[in-house]
Structure 1
Amino acid sequence: MKAIDATVPFRYRLVILLGSACLLAVLTAELLLSSRQMSLTLDEGAHLYAGYQHWRARDFGVNPEHPPLVKLVAALPLLGMNLKQPHPPNPFFIVEEYAGGAELLQANNMNLLLNRSRTAACVFTLLLGVLVFAMGYEMFGPEAALLALALFTFEPTVLAHGALVTTDMGVAACLCATVYAFYRYVKQPGVTRLLVFGVTVGLTLVTKLSGVLILPIVVVCAATGADSRLEHEARLTARRRDLCGCGDRVCDSVGLLRVSLCGAPSRAGHDASTCSVCTHDAG
């Protein structure tokens, strides 16, 4: 990003940043308004109940098929509310999480609970929007970053899932953050960037079960980056070799020309005072 900033005028960068802020504000408004108009989806009650039990009872056996990060974030606004505790049957964990979610929402103000939890879940979608802009800015420039953010802001799939209490947008944001952190570490290795990369990998793994795919993704990215670096070094080495060969040929040509004009320095009978080349060199 510093290399791009050096070639972009300050006022132009300011316009790009203001445009990105406006797009993020539009995205926030879209998410908040649409979340109040969408009906309850199948998994939201189970995820909300699981997150509430994670906080209240420290019970991570509810909804164990998915890691807890998104559920904890979504249920965080409910902790200050005086809610009626659900007591679902517990024959099997899947029955408990869906029955408990339905009981939690029906025994309390369902609209209020959904609005608060969905507002908290919007954080992951907004984070993904910021990452899209930051990655586009650093990799391809300010115009590409603004265009990517605009496409993301008005993408129907993002609007449909961006405010739901599900793990989809959470894992998308963490996957994107991990790839971006890995890119920045490979670009300029350092302890801080390595730590950031490790944190993003951990967040991805505690967001959704499919987040484990980040491990082969990083391996493929590392292998691709290593191949690209080897090819780049090979091209540089070949270019240096060609330049050195050209330089040797130029030196040989100059030497032959000098010998043909002046003769060899050890040749007998050579009069340096009458040789224009030697006289010019001596001057």
Structure 2
Amino acid sequence: MNRTATAIAAFCRAVIRRVCTPVGERWAVVLLLATQAGLLGYSATQHSPTFLEPAILASGISHWKFGRFEPYRVNPPLVRMVAALPVMAIGCKTDWDRFHEYPGSRAEFALGEDFIHANGRRSLYLICLARWACIPFSLAGSYFTYRWAKELYGGGAGVFSLVLYICEPNLLAHGELITSDAACTAFFIIAAYTYWQWLRSPTWTRATLAGGGLGIAQLAKTSSLILIGLWPVLWILWNTLKPRTQQLLQQPASNSRDPHIPPASFHTSATSHYFQFATIIIIPLYIINIGYGFDGFGVRLKDYTFVSSMLTGLNNPGESGNRFRQTLAGQIPVPLPRQYIMGLDIQKRDFEDFGEPSYLRGEWRTVVGGITIFMVSR
């Protein structure tokens, strides 16, 4: 038993020594990413489509064909548009007869059913192709996990973090699908990494990259909205808690009798820092609008028809209205695409009343919001 344990320990030490060399580290990263791609690619061929995938794929095709973003508007279109590319390249049958549009409508599920009916058994092959197109999202998340950990703690930590990311069951399960969860996770990491780089060493190049990372994350899933609120908090904490080495520039030397004049670059850099942060927050607005082709940009708030109680001001979720219609705020043009705003409203309506009973803590309940279930499950 002791000999076996000693042999295993010696083998592990030898592997670590090999991996910790620059060449070994590079090969380890390449092999691990190739393994991840293989696992996800194989899983995509073996598992049947989920309930959401036909609706997502049909919606992505509709975005390209018609330039409309009503189908599946509860999430931004980036992932499903990427998923639709190989399917459109080889050709598929579509049926749009059941498309409908009214306040709160979700036509994507009917479109998904009709897509399956139109393509028959071939739809399994088409969905597999769409899944393969989304594998690079997971690979990007893996790579930036490795890179961030390496910059923090060294190459060994980077490889170890990469192994953990690749082997995480939820990431393996969602990474093979065309749903937006795996892509959202990857873009969360990329956005956080680029923002961290800017916080450490603010430059205009890094500010632009951080804004771009934050913007792409917004196009992956509406969950990424939390970053828009989180980034200012982290910025304030970073500038409050970090060592204030800049203060040394304002202090005269102890043996100097001349009045000290702070260098002009000190104030310039501080001003530049504020403008860079503003740029990081503004760039995502532009990227979101690009993702929707600026469809419905600048529509006044009063011209929307909402269905969530929060935005209608009515007691019944699903009843249409607009609480801002007769207010001064209603005159404000919204600097976001119309269907992006409508998607947020519909998602909020679903949280308020999904229309189906929910099972929570041993009981079927008629009114339990998705937020409540999420918080309890944590």
Q: For the superposition of Structure 1 and Structure 2, which TM-score range results when normalised by the shorter chain?
A: 0.7 to 0.9
- The equivalent position to 2:39 in structure 1, one of 22, 30, 33, is 30
Match of 1:205 in 2: 218
Counting only pairs closer than 5 Å after superposition, residues 29-68 of structure 1 correspond to structure 2 as: 29-68=38-77
SS in structure 1 of the partner of residue 24 of structure 2: helix
4+ runs deviating over 6 angstroms: 231-235
Which deviates more, 79-88 or 117-126? 79-88
Tell me how far 1:217 sits from its aligned partner. Answer: 2.1
For residues 158-190 of structure 1, give each alpha carbon's deviation from its aligned partner in whole angstroms, at most 9, with x where no partner exists: 111101111111111111111100111122221
- The equivalent position to 2:85 in structure 1, one of 76, 79, 99, is 76
2:79–2:180 CA contact under 8 A, matched in 1: yes
- The equivalent position to 1:105 in structure 2, one of 116, 136, 145, is 116
Which amino acid in 2 is paired with 1:33? Y
Match of 1:20 in 2: 29
Tell me how far 1:152 sits from its aligned partner. Answer: 1.1
Tell me how far 1:232 sits from its aligned partner. Answer: 7.1
Determine if the alignment matches structure 1 residue 159 to structure 2 residue 205: no
Work out which structure has the larger RCO, using CA pairs closer than 8 Å and 6 or more positions apart in sequence.
Answer: 1
2:99–2:111 CA contact under 8 A, matched in 1: no
d(CA) in 1 for partners of 2:188 and 2:217?
A: 6
Determine if the alignment matches structure 1 residue 141 to structure 2 residue 141: no
Tell me how far 1:10 sits from its aligned partner. Answer: 11
Match of 1:254 in 2: none
Which consecutive residues of structure 1, in runs of 5 or more, have no partner in the other structure?
1-8, 242-283
2:19–2:25 CA contact under 8 A, matched in 1: no
Tell me how far 1:223 sits from its aligned partner. Answer: 2.3
Match of 1:263 in 2: none
Match of 1:223 in 2: 236
Which amino acid in 1 is paired with 2:23? L
Which deviates more, 86-95 or 222-231? 86-95
Tell me how far 1:90 sits from its aligned partner. Answer: 3.5
Aligned Cα root-mean-square deviation (Å): 2.5
1:135–1:145 CA contact under 8 A, matched in 2: yes
Which deviates more, 130-139 or 81-90? 81-90
Match of 2:291 in 1: none
SS in structure 2 of the partner of residue 165 of structure 1: coil
TM-score (norm 2): 0.57
d(CA) in 2 for partners of 1:139 and 1:79?
A: 42
Tell me how far 1:91 sits from its aligned partner. Answer: 4.4
1:88–1:96 CA contact under 8 A, matched in 2: no
TM-score (norm 1): 0.75
Match of 2:261 in 1: none
Residues 1:111 and 1:76: Cα distance change in structure 2 (over 3 Å):
same
- The equivalent position to 1:178 in structure 2, one of 163, 174, 191, is 191
Report the identity percentage: 26
